Amino acid sequence: MAKGAKPTREDRLKAALKANMARRKAQKRGREAEEATADSAPDEQKRNDNG
């Protein structure tokens, strides 16, 4: 694509896909970090439920 030229449909789709993949990767990293934090947290809630 020439500089200043109107992006083609293919260029727009390529950019949208790249942005979507980046967003999904960020969401996955966030979920994994949240799970790691939950796994390393003390089991205080479980102890409270048992007694």
What's the pLDDT at 50? 62
What's the pLDDT at 8? 97
Reading the chain (51 residues) residue by residue, the pLDDT tens digits are: 556 788 999 999 999 999 999 999 999 999 999 988 888 766 655 555 665
- pTM check: above 0.95: no
What's the pLDDT at 49? 60
What's the pLDDT at 12? 97
Residue with the two structure tokens 């003390």:
42
| CA geometry: angle 39, 45, 47, nearest 5 deg | 110
What's the pLDDT at 1? 53
Buried b / exposed e over 1-29, threshold 16 CB at 10 Å, is eeeeeeeeeeeeeeeeeeeeeeeeeeeee
Q: How far apart are CA 46 and CA 42, in angstroms?
A: 9
